[in-house]
Amino acid sequence: MEEISKIPQHVSIIMDGNGRWAKARGKVRLEGHKEGVESVRACLEFAVEMKIKYLSLFAFSTENWGRPSDEVQGLWALMLKAIERETKYLIKNRVRVLMLGNLQQLDPDLRLAIEGLMEATAGGQGTTLVVMINYSGKWDIVQAANRFAEENPGKQMLPEDFDRYLITAGVPDPDLLIRTSGEERISNYMLWQTAYTEFYFTDTLWPDFRKKEFRLAIEEYARRDRRFGKVKQNNE
């Protein structure tokens, strides 16, 4: 297979379209989420193969609590099942897992499983899988500002200071953000962290987004010319 000239260090994905995938097949929405978990596995395998250092996924937003409670409970149950099913694979493939967001509001069983998974994979030196749950960009900015003010009374804040107080502290900003299902919005995702991120939108629904589609996104990224507000290095 053709080599890709430029591999991003951090790819982030807004996984969208599970409900529409299910509806198109006359299935309930949860079936779409279930198939979506298979896409998570495929994309993680691809990230491991391509040596992508960070793969982050928007798995549950603070706004998602507004969905019918059987869907919300179903999503948490799927996550718990995935943790139980995949821990062995993750350790074997040296994947470190970070699950970030407002974890306080989660069911104690799920929280315990999340903490266990993070501990079990903490030594992973390969890809870091970052799963954003009960997360929103505005929530993150506000909690960071509050914590900074509390710990540094009267001090002026610099952008670098702020990075350290965000829930994503230590994770580099995404180089590439993918959103599936034809929607072209940021939807209160990593608002601060995407200041210079390249965006890639595809009509493919998340349950259909597998290795082939992921490769197309990375190939497109490799063709992009990132200038970070400056002029091009070789002045072309």
Is 59 among the residues that bind ligand FPP (CB under 6 A)?
Answer: yes
Six token digits for residue 202: 């595809």
Instruction: Give the E-state strand segments of the chain in sequence order.
Output: 10-14, 54-61, 96-100, 128-135, 176-179, 198-201
Sheet order of strands, 176-179 included:
96-100, 128-135, 54-61, 10-14, 176-179, 198-201
Active site residue 173: no
Q: Which is nearer to ligand FPP, 165 or 200 (CB)?
A: 200
Buried b (16+ CB within 10 A) or exposed e, 175-190: bbbbbbbeeeeeebbb
Among 13, 30, 37, 178, binds ligand FPP (CB under 6 A): 37
Nearer to ligand FPP, 82 or 176 (CB): 82
**Any contact of residue 175 with ligand FPP (CB under 6 A)?**
no
Q: Helices (H), strands (E): how many in the chain?
A: 7, 6
Question: N- to C-terminal Cα distance for the chain?
Answer: 30
Positions in 61-90 near ligand FPP (CB under 6 A): 64, 75, 78-79, 82
CA atoms within 13 A on the CB side of 94: 9
64 is catalytic: yes
Pattern of binders to ligand FPP over 124-153, x per CB under 6 A?
Answer: -------x----------------------
Give least dist CB 111 to ligand FPP, A: 15
Residue closer to ligand FPP (CB basis): 165 or 174: 174
* Structure-block tokens of residue 50: 């391509």
- Residue 20 interacts with ligand FPP (CB under 6 A): yes or no: yes
Q: Which residue has the closest beta carbon to ligand FPP?
A: 19
Report the candidate in 39, 69, 71 with the shortest Cα–Cα distance to residue 55. 39
Q: What angle do CA 160, 145, 153 make, to 5 degrees?
A: 90
Q: Does 8 bind ligand FPP (CB under 6 A)?
A: no
- d(C-alpha 197, C-alpha 109), whole Å: 35
Question: What minimum distance in Å lies between the beta carbon of 50 and ligand FPP?
Answer: 19
**Residue 16 binds to ligand FPP (criterion: CB under 6 A):** yes
Question: Is residue 40 a contact point for ligand FPP (CB under 6 A)?
Answer: yes
Q: Which residues are catalytic?
A: 16, 64
Q: Residue numbers of the site for ligand FPP (CB under 6 A)?
A: 15-20, 33, 36-37, 40, 57, 59, 64, 75, 78-79, 82, 131, 181
